[in-house]
Each structure stands twice: as C-alpha cells, then as structure tokens.
C-alpha cells in the first residue's frame, strides 16, 4: 500500500500475554511482504492493539487520513 497507513491488530487473549509484544513482529512482516512501504518516511501513522475472543490474530491495514498542517 502506498503512503501512510493505520494498522489495527486484534490478538486472542491468553494468560501471561503482553499485548504490545505483538506490534513489532507484525509490522515487520507487513513491511517485508510489501503491504506497508518501509522506504516511506513514517509509513505507519497509527496502531490499534486489542484483545479479542477469536482464536487467530486479525490485522487490517487502511490508508491514513491525511490532514493539512498550517505553519502559521
């Protein structure tokens, strides 16, 4: 996906799991397979991490909403 993105990661709840440990390996995998363009400056503009009851990890990648920033 070209340009900045927002990534949502849903992880099955498990005893002793630390939710934030899932983010980096998943983001690395997305870059390695070209889903997120690693050579783009700050390709990931947002990350959402949540527990859920499904047995698998779910990942969605959406274009980030860009807004103009005024230098005034």
For the segment 15-66, what is each residue's pLDDT rounded down to a tens digit? 777 888 999 999 999 989 988 887 666 788 899 999 999 999 999 999 988 7
Residue 49 β-bridge partners: 9
* pLDDT score recorded for residue 47: 94
CB 64 within 8 A of CB 3: yes
* Segment 2-15 mean pLDDT: 89
DSSP state of 20: G
**Band of pLDDT at residue 71, cut at 50, 70 and 90:** low
Distance CA 44, CA 47 (A): 7
Residues across the chain: 72
Q: Say whether 55 sits in a helix, a strand or coil.
A: coil
Residue 2: pLDDT over 80: no
């Amino acid at each position: 996906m070209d340009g900045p993105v927002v990534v949502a990661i849903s992880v099955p709840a498990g005893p002793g799991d630390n939710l934030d440990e899932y983010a980096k390996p998943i983001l690395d995998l997305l870059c390695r397979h070209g889903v997120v363009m690693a050579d783009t400056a700050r390709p990931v503009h947002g990350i959402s991490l949540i527990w859920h009851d499904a047995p698998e990890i779910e990942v969605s990648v959406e274009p980030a909403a860009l807004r103009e920033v005024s230098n005034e």
